[in-house]
């Protein structure tokens, strides 16, 4: 029997979770129901991941040794400690900071258990019974690195072994992150907690007088399901020998590893580095009572100019840097809310709305907030289409012959490489989404610029493979004018990006960053040729 992705998602949710595990949309305001336990929001202070110190190094290079392990950690005041996986005993892992052009080497030591806590689907490519059940390979998301240090999904290590990486950091200041990328089990390792921030700094950004130090706070947003004992729950598919599910949407939102925490702030400007590290959930974030967010950066660094936003839309894997000014809001409680459907944009699934709360009740540490958001931030030169040497048309599609499998350009991961840009060249990729979901498409080792999006006739494309546009071109909005490594590709649209391929030649990957999709064939290798 074959199932569509939507049928698998519905069946797996019903099979894996009892009604008491599901949060009703009309729950009493201010309370979240979790497996029959009411979790009060905003009772735990927001933890800020500590900055890890190198074990050795000089001014031009730093060396770290970071351990992956299993441990217990409190995620809410009213829950017992949860079994998690993380780095150096924390979830999220510690923040790694580096200066531009400062080489960082890291030994990632895999001390995870031999058996996985979640159900491994051995039918997925690269996750068969002939490989260890627990594997890891760390990918620096957004890093311009050599193939040998990129965290290729096939370069995994098993418990008891160490992965060595070299990060040259020859790129502008930006909010990057590190996470597991092991073939066929990335979604499971992510649910267990394997993620952390990696922040590159440079003098150009430091001179801007943006909020810094204790006023520069990273926020990793993740959704999860917990059972009555406070432990992680993850649904399984309707077939006993095929536990894979097409998407995961949790009933509870965590920020920096806590359920809907609060942060006491001063009446001044703060910089928040938002990261969507959820498996599949898209977030639309806004502040209530209404207050603008000033976006200053995206995946690859600062924008050329700040963009005023009423809401921030973040797809999985995406980062947005934004400044919030709490001056004049003394005594207020301001709530960060989520209003995005699941699956996005047309799903009718659960929407956990309460993300976190800011409480403006700390006094100013000085009489004056000296930070600012200047009208010009960074030099971001738009790439001209005419300098591209090649244009590729690539499709996102569901495989009708398989239960929910998704494909890039009709090919599976193990099929021969078809994307082979030349080092130093510039290409345009036209990504045609023929599915019903938004897909966040991520390219490893490079950054790119969004050109535009345009609606097309999907039914005709499926019949004839021809792209016929039905609407006018939608140019990139101001908040997407910067350098990106992940792009939102809406259904029934062609999303065009222009990509400069620069770096050390080698084998990399591009994929959907909905991790359930990535684990089931929505990932392809690309070869950067000399």
**pLDDT, tens digit (0-9, with 9 covering 90-100), for 93-135:** 999 999 999 999 999 999 999 999 999 999 999 999 999 999 9
Residue 35's pLDDT is 47
Single out the residue of 237, 312, 252, 299 nearest to residue 516, CA to CA: 237
Burial 371-399 (b: 16+ CB within 10 A, else e): bebeeebbebeebeeeebeeeeebbbbbe
Residue 348: which pLDDT band, with cuts at 50, 70 and 90?
confident
**Residues 97/163, Cβ–Cβ less than 8 Å:** no
pLDDT at 9: 56
- Mean pLDDT for 235-258 is 93
For the cut 80, the answer to whether the pLDDT of residue 37 exceeds it is: no
**Residue 221 and residue 248 in contact, taking contact as beta carbons nearer than 8 Å:** no
- Model confidence at 350, pLDDT cuts 50, 70, 90, reads confident
Q: What was the pLDDT predicted at 2? A: 52
DSSP 435-479: SSS-EEEEESS--BEEEEEEEB-HHHHHHHS---B-S--EEPPGG
- Residue entry with tokens 């600012």: 372
Q: What is the pLDDT of residue 228?
A: 82
Q: Which pair of tokens denotes residue 514?
A: 């909905």
Query: Do 31 and 250 contact (CB within 8 A), yes or no?
Result: no
Question: In whole angstroms, what is the distance from residue 497 CA to residue 451 CA?
Answer: 5
DSSP state of 192: H
The mean per-residue pLDDT over the stretch 472-496 comes to 97
- Give the pLDDT of residue 336: 98
Q: For residue 239, name the pLDDT band (cuts at 50, 70, 90).
A: confident
User: Distance between CA 210 and CA 296 in Å, rounded?
Assistant: 10
At 113 the pLDDT is 98
As a whole number of angstroms, the distance between CA 13 and CA 6 comes to 11
- Mean pLDDT check: name the lowest of 27-36, 181-190, 319-328, 413-422: 27-36
pTM: 0.94
Instruction: Please report the pLDDT score of residue 39 as a whole number.
Output: 83
Quick one: average pLDDT of 239-267?
Answer: 95
Banded model confidence at residue 359, pLDDT cuts 50, 70, 90: very high
pLDDT tens-digit readout, 491-509: 999 999 999 999 999 999 9
Q: What SS3 class is residue 12?
A: helix
Asked whether the predicted pLDDT for residue 403 surpasses 90, the reply is no
Band of the pLDDT at 14, cuts 50, 70, 90? very low
Structural domains of the chain sorted by starting position, each given as residue range(s) with its CATH number in brackets: 56-204 (2.60.40.420), 213-360 (2.60.40.420), 385-528 (2.60.40.420)
Residue 349: predicted pLDDT: 75
Q: Is the pLDDT of residue 482 over 80?
A: yes
Phi, psi of 145, rounded to the nearest 5 degrees: -135, 165
Least confident of 21-25, 133-137, 349-353, 495-499: 21-25
Question: Cα(318)–Cα(313) distance, rounded to whole angstroms?
Answer: 9
Express each pLDDT in 62-84 by its tens digit.
999 999 999 999 999 999 999 99
| Cβ-based burial of 117 (10 A; exposed 0-12, middle 13-18, buried ≥19) | middle
Q: 16-25, 223-232, 272-281 — which is least confidently predicted?
A: 16-25
CB 238 within 8 A of CB 8: yes
pLDDT, residue 4, reads 58
Task: Specify the pLDDT at position 366.
Answer: 82
Residues 6+ apart with CB under 8 A from 169: 98, 99, 100, 101, 102, 103, 104, 143, 200
Nearest to 125 by CA among 392, 399, 315: 399
Whether the pLDDT of residue 258 is over 60: the answer is yes
- Is the distance from CB of 182 to CB of 132 less than 8 angstroms? no
Res. 402: pLDDT tops 90: no
The mean per-residue pLDDT over the stretch 339-368 comes to 91
Structure tokens at 17: 């979770």
Instruction: With beta carbons less than 8 A apart as the criterion, state whether 204 and 173 touch.
Output: yes
Mean pLDDT across 318-328: 97
Report whether 274 contacts 285 (CB < 8 A). yes
Per residue in 131-163, pLDDT (tens digit) is 999 999 999 999 999 999 999 999 999 999 999
Integer Cα distance of 153 and 155 in angstroms: 6
The candidate with the shortest Cα–Cα distance to 282, out of 219, 357, 351, 198, is: 351
| Distance between CA atoms of residues 452 and 472, nearest Å | 10
Indicate whether 85 pLDDT > 80. yes
Q: What is the 3-state secondary structure (H, E, C) of 274-299?
A: EEECCCCCCEEEEEECCCCEEEEEEC
Beta pairing, strands 82-87 & 61-73: antiparallel
CA distance 12 to 207: 51
Q: CA-to-CA distance for 180 and 518, rounded, in angstroms? A: 13
Cα distance between residue 284 and residue 276, in whole Å: 11
- Determine the average pLDDT of the residues in 176-188: 98
Whether the Cβ atoms of residue 476 and residue 450 lie closer than 8 Å to each other: yes
Position 31 confidence tier, pLDDT thresholds 50, 70, 90 = very low
What average pLDDT does the segment 264-293 reach? 97
Residue 36 has pLDDT above 50, yes or no: no
Residue 57 confidence (pLDDT): 82
Residues making up the chain, counted from first to last:
530
Rounded to the nearest integer, the mean pLDDT of the chain is: 92
> Which residue carries 């996005």 as its tokens?
344
Tell me what the mean pLDDT of segment 270-298 comes to: 97
pLDDT at 334: 98
**Per-residue pLDDT averaged across 243-251, rounded?**
94
């Amino acid at each position: 029997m074959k199932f569509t992705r939507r049928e698998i998602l519905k069946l797996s949710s019903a099979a894996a979770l009892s009604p008491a595990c599901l949060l009703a949309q009309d729950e009493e305001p201010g309370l979240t129901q979790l497996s029959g336990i009411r979790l009060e929001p905003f009772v735990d202070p927001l933890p800020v991941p500590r900055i890890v110190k190198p074990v050795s190094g000089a001014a031009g290079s730093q060396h770290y040794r970071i351990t992956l392990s299993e441990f217990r950690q409190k995620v809410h005041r009213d829950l017992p400690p949860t079994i998690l996986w993380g780095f150096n005993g924390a979830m999220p892992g510690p923040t790694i900071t580096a200066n531009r052009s400062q080489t960082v080497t890291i030994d990632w030591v895999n001390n995870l258990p031999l058996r996985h806590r979640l159900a491994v689907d051995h039918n997925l490519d690269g996750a068969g019974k002939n490989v260890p059940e627990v594997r890891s390979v760390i990918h620096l998301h957004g890093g311009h690195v050599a193939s040998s240090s990129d965290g290729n999904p096939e370069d995994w290590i098993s418990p008891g072994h160490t992965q060595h990486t070299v990060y040259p950091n020859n790129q502008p200041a930006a909010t990057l992150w590190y996470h597991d990328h092991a073939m066929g089990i990335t979604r499971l390792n992510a649910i267990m907690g394997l993620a952390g921030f990696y922040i590159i700094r440079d003098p150009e950004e430091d001179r801007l007088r943006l909020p810094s130090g204790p006023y520069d706070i990273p926020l990793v947003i993740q959704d999860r399901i917990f059972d009555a004992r406070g432990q992680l729950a993850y649904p399984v598919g309707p077939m006993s020998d095929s536990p894979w599910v097409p998407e995961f949407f949790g009933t509870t939102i965590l920020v920096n590893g806590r359920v809907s925490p609060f942060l006491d702030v001063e009446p001044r400007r703060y910089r928040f580095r938002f990261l969507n590290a959820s498996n599949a959930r898209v977030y639309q974030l806004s502040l209530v009572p209404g207050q603008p967010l000033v976006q200053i950066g995206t995946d690859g660094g600062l924008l050329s100019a700040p963009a005023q936003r009423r809401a921030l839309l973040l797809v999985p894997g995406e980062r947005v840097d934004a400044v919030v000014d709490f001056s004049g809001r003394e005594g207020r409680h301001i709530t960060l809310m989520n209003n995005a459907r699941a699956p996005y944009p047309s799903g009718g699934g659960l929407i956990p709305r309460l993300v976190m709360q800011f409480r403006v009740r700390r006094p100013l540490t000085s009489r004056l907030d000296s930070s600012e958001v200047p009208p010009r931030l960074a030099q971001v030169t738009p790439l001209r289409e005419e300098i591209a040497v090649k244009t590729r048309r690539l499709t996102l599609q569901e495989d009708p012959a398989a239960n929910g499998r998704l494909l890039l350009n009709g090919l599976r991961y193990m099929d021969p490489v078809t994307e082979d840009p030349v080092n130093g060249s510039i290409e345009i990729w036209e990504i045609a989404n023929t599915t019903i979901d938004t897909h966040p498409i991520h390219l490893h080792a490079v950054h790119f610029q969004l050109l535009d999006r345009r609606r097309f006739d999907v039914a005709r494309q499926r019949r004839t493979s021809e792209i016929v546009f039905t609407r006018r071109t939608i140019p990139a909005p101001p908040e997407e004018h910067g350098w990106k490594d992940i792009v939102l590709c809406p259904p029934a649209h062609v999303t065009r990006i222009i990509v400069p391929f620069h770096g050390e030649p080698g084998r990399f990957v591009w994929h959907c960053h909905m991790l359930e999709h990535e684990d089931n064939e929505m990932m392809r290798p690309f070869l950067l040729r000399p």
